[in-house]
Structure 1
Amino acid sequence: MSIASGFAHDLFISYAHADDKPSGGRTAGFVSQFVTDLMAEVERKLGGALDIWWDHHDLAGNMPVSPEIVEAASQAAGIVVLVSPAYLRSAWCRRERSTFLQALRARARTGAVFIVSIENLAREKLPEEFQDLVGYPFWQQLDDDRTTRPLRVDFETERQTYYDRLCKLVQNVADHLDALAARAPEKRGAIDSVERVVDADAPRVVLAEVTDDLVHQREDVRSYLEQLGFVVLPKRRYSRDDLALHRTQLREDLEQARLFVQLLGPLAGDRSDEPRGMAWLRWSVADEVLSHESIIQWRDPQLAIDTIDDADAQALLRLPTVRSCGLAELKRAIAETLQRPKRTMVAPVPKCVFVNAEGADRAFADQISAWLADHGYIVLDPPNASDPAEWRESWENNLTHCQSLMLIYGQTKPGWITQQVLQSMKVNARRSEPIELWSVCVGPPPVEPDKLSRLGLRFEALRFLRCERGFDETELRRFTDLLEAPGDIA
């Protein structure tokens, strides 16, 4: 008798016969071992036996789909697909899969598809119906970084990984069966993706897709967070054929998430659509939507950044939002961040920046002012009065009300910068609260020797932005990070 009320079977197992042949001295093949363990864990979790339909005798690959298969597929609450190269090559598996999906669409009941990968397969190699589903990796990568094989429960070093992933699958199967029991039949849809039943108010986190070398670490983080009751996005893979749609899908998830987490390694990722790699694309979208305090990037502390040949991967790893720590420490940090009480959102008063420049540097200053304004800051331009008294009044007014002063040191003489700093200090002394951030943006053109050596000005609170070769968004983000940093910047 099935656990899911109204269904003849709880799960239908779809697999290739070749994947259940014993090897390496084992008496049971991978699929037989997997199904046995799956049934035992579900019984432990739910206190009842799982009704699984699987044909472990007649999967030769050249027979028609029997009426028994059609009946089992149409009466199963879900399907577990064990994906492998043998599965993808099997015409029988293709017919079996098609039969199950057609049965789901034809009946007014809910079905779930659980993808179990026993080899590392590129998304585009999967059947189209499964490419958007997030699966469960049950494979081990060997030390040549290209060969993979199914996890071995009889290997002590792999036993815990195998059972951790099995238990995660079991939890999601249990959640799905519980959800079926809670739904009224008339409200059931045609086919559902696998999603845990969680508190609607549970914090959400976007855990970015990773390069192949970090798949297991990402799965470890995802499993840990889901076990704590957090909602981990994405639930479906984003489009790779349409990059604009990919950005939109990521943005939609980010807008409902409290945190963006990205695991980074020495690889920049696929460059077929994004010149700097997909990892850069994902970070750039997150950077547009979330504040830096809501972005956590991670790298292995054993990774030597200077030895990485890929310049884009190296630059990404040097971002200020990247943490270098153990994976366990990262998981705890993510959980602690998500568990903090959500702050009441009060519209912040935008900070004010006085961008001061002489005539020759006004065009460059306008670029910076426009960028700051686009990012929510109030920007004060240099006075434009011909009357000296009026000019002086406007200049002092700007200095009195700004939170930050930025001087543009491009084509102007070093003496002008020194004079502005000294004169501004006098106004600052009369303010009720001092200027928070003093900065000099070293603008074009580049000069030899270094322009800063010509300045001859030492002031501990002064921060320098290096933009000699033109507008540099990275430097401006460093400036805004300093301006938004809590506490006394100086």
Structure 2
Amino acid sequence: MSDVADIFVSFAHVDDQPVANQQQGWITHFTNDLRGELNRRMGRKDNYHFWKDFRLKGNDAVTPEIEQQVTQANTLVILFSTGWMASPWCQRELELFQSSHPDLSKRIFVIELERVAMLDKPVIIRDLLNYPFWRVTDKDRVRQLGFPVPQATDSAYYERLVDLSHDLANAIKSLRASTAEPIEAPKATVYVAPVNDSLYSQRQSVISELRQFGIESLPRANSHKVADMETLLTQCSHFVQLLDANYTMGVPYDQHFIADAAKKPILQWRDPKLDYSGGHVPDEQRQLLGGKTVIAAPLSDFIRMVREAVLPKPKQPDDETPKVNGAQMVFVHAAQEDYGRADSLANKLCDKGFSVVLPVYQGKPERIRTSIERGYQRCDVLLMLYLQASPEIVDEFLYDAQAAIVRRESKPRILICQDAQAEGLSVRLHGMKTWVCHNNFDEHCLEQFLAEVEA
């Protein structure tokens, strides 16, 4: 394999000082975690060349070898911080890389270790792809993710690490001509509007989940640069926007205005629990949050709606096998936390010829309650998904189901699809059958269901 580095890591050694009696600093832990993810995505650890300077201290001499490595490297990962900006050598690394690479937007990845005002950043990296590895507390304090040592419970740290490794692996594969693998063209491309810090994780979730279905998202960087928006919109079929009560100097309103003027289909989301009625929300933002294209729903439901709106419906073959299961009505029941999985499974059951009903979780409580009661009263099969919801909620569903079923002459079959990590249920109805899913909910549940009802 070539000695040219696929990834050159630029960091300030002051950011890698061990604290709290740790043997290694945050930078070392981070790069080890990143390499582990890259190994998985690249297939093996020797499929790429990762270069990090393990020897230099803050005032050691710079060798010609290091200058050569940064100049010839395919990508540059900057661990951006106050210490990085104060390091003359870090600045020199960026200058050397810039001088030998004209297409920086595809090659530089900025890992933010702290919040730095846009105007304080070097001009060259302001609009490049960045990954904030920090969060803001309720008291507006900035905390570095996974500091001093990443823990298994640091979900935000690992979510952003996975996103970074995915983008880096794709960059390596496309930039290395000798080992590049063909990248499948996206099925569609949407514009996912850049957001403020409070919605960063949600935006990344939207982009990651859409990518799994072959839908690309623009812009790659979470940058509020409106000047490029009109050009990017011409490459996109839909405009997707995540909203909260933050006015952000009117940027969300301007984004919506530009997308509307471009005549793009608009899909907007807000948390259904968001209260934006108070005087703390400007009228312009309140009007945006109450717009007719705003969907107040769990984020997983919104992502599904985007996917269904963007991707063309598959054409049914002319010689489709006649459906034979339509006489059976299946009530696919789930709490709101599991509704996205229930909806996906319901679609697959419809494809198999079953009639399916789902609970309604929008509108007045009476409407929601009525939809669930009708499902209990009229279904031939009650299929309940228990994946992320609390056991108390599922137990309550089973109590209600028993109360409705006892009044029926014909009793439905009761099947429970349960996550392997879910707590046990205290309610067990007569004839109820339970199976465990193993991280492949849709296909596994479908196979188990068909085995039960078609036996």
TM-score category of the 2 structures, normalised to the smaller one: 0.5 to 0.7
In structure 2, the CA distance between the partners of 1:157 and 1:201, relative to structure 1 (3 Å rule), is: closer
Q: Does 1:161 align with 2:156?
A: yes
Structure 1 position 239, deviation (Å): 7.5
Structure 1 match to 2:306: 334
Matches within 5 A, 1:372-451: none
Structure 1 position 203, deviation (Å): 0.6
Matches within 5 A, 1:286-297: 286-291=259-264, 294-297=265-268
Amino acid at match of 2:254: L
Task: State whether residues 207 and 216 of structure 2, in contact with CA within 8 Å, keep that contact through their aligned partners in structure 1.
Answer: no
Question: Aligned equivalents of 1:280 and 1:333: distance in 2?
Answer: 22
Structure 1 match to 2:98: 101
Structure 1 match to 2:255: 282
Question: Aligned equivalents of 1:156 and 1:236: distance in 2?
Answer: 27
What's the CA shift string for 1:263-309, capped at 9, x where partnerless? 11111112xxxxxx111110001111125xx2111111221111251
Question: Aligned equivalents of 2:258 and 2:182: distance in 1?
Answer: 28
Structure 2 match to 1:15: 11
Q: Does 1:52 align with 2:37?
A: no
Structure 1 position 223, deviation (Å): 2.3
**Corresponding residue SS for 1:79:** strand
Structure 2 match to 1:67: 64
Structure 1 match to 2:270: 299
**Corresponding residue SS for 1:307:** coil
Structure 2 match to 1:206: 191
Task: State whether residues 70 and 99 of structure 1, in contact with CA within 8 Å, keep that contact through their aligned partners in structure 2.
Answer: yes
Structure 1 position 235, deviation (Å): 3.2
Structure 2 match to 1:180: 175
In structure 2, the CA distance between the partners of 1:318 and 1:342, relative to structure 1 (3 Å rule), is: farther
Structure of larger gyration radius: 1
Unaligned runs of 5+ in 1: 186-195, 241-245, 271-276, 344-490
Amino acid at match of 1:283: H
Task: State whether residues 77 and 110 of structure 1, in contact with CA within 8 Å, keep that contact through their aligned partners in structure 2.
Answer: no
Task: State whether residues 117 and 136 of structure 1, in contact with CA within 8 Å, keep that contact through their aligned partners in structure 2.
Answer: yes
User: Which of 86, 91, 97 lines up with 1:89 in the alignment?
Assistant: 86
- How many residue pairs were aligned? 311
Structure 1 position 168, deviation (Å): 2.1
Unaligned runs of 5+ in 2: 316-455
Structure 1 match to 2:415: none
User: Which of 213, 218, 237 lines up with 1:258 in the alignment?
Assistant: 237
User: Which of 119, 127, 133 lines up with 1:132 in the alignment?
Assistant: 127
**Corresponding residue SS for 2:153:** helix
Structure 1 position 13, deviation (Å): 0.4
Question: Aligned equivalents of 1:109 and 1:94: distance in 2?
Answer: 15
Matches within 5 A, 1:26-37: 26-37=22-33
Question: Aligned equivalents of 2:168 and 2:43: distance in 1?
Answer: 14
Task: State whether residues 3 and 49 of structure 2, in contact with CA within 8 Å, keep that contact through their aligned partners in structure 1.
Answer: no
What's the CA shift string for 1:188-218, capped at 9, x where partnerless? xxxxxxxx97543521111111123222222
State the identity %. Answer: 31
Amino acid at match of 2:268: Q
Question: Aligned equivalents of 1:311 and 1:197: distance in 2?
Answer: 49
Task: State whether residues 119 and 150 of structure 1, in contact with CA within 8 Å, keep that contact through their aligned partners in structure 2.
Answer: no
**Corresponding residue SS for 1:305:** coil
Task: State whether residues 6 and 49 of structure 2, in contact with CA within 8 Å, keep that contact through their aligned partners in structure 1.
Answer: yes
Structure 2 match to 1:387: none
Structure 1 position 12, deviation (Å): 0.7
User: Which TM-score applies when normalising by structure 2?
Assistant: 0.62
